[in-house]
Amino acid sequence: MATVLDQLKQYTTVVADTGDFESIAQYKPTDATTNPSLILAAAGKSQYAPLIDQAIEWAKGQASTVDEQ
């Protein structure tokens, strides 16, 4: 039997308004917001620290000078 969420997905676009990546993975919305305050809140959670560290290292690798870093 289809869940209410599955039924709703048949008629509308389901969008996640959260920075919680686990919730996004669980509910599999069609889209997600990019609200900076939600991303900032998620970035402060210890479970996402490795992602932040990885993003910082990637960005440093893209910079050609210390000022760009």
Confidence check: pLDDT of 12 > 80: yes
Output the pTM of the full model.
0.58
CA distance 59 to 57: 5
Per-residue model confidence as pLDDT tens digits over 13-69: 988 888 888 888 998 898 888 788 888 888 899 998 998 999 999 999 998 888 877
Listed residue (6, 5, 25, 29) closest to 17, CA to CA: 29
CA distance 67 to 32: 32
Residue 50's pLDDT is 93
From the DSSP assignment, how many helices (H) and strands (E) are in the chain? 4, 2
Residue 69's pLDDT is 73
Both tokens assigned to 22: 């686990």
- Name the band, by pLDDT with cuts 50, 70 and 90, for residue 3: very high
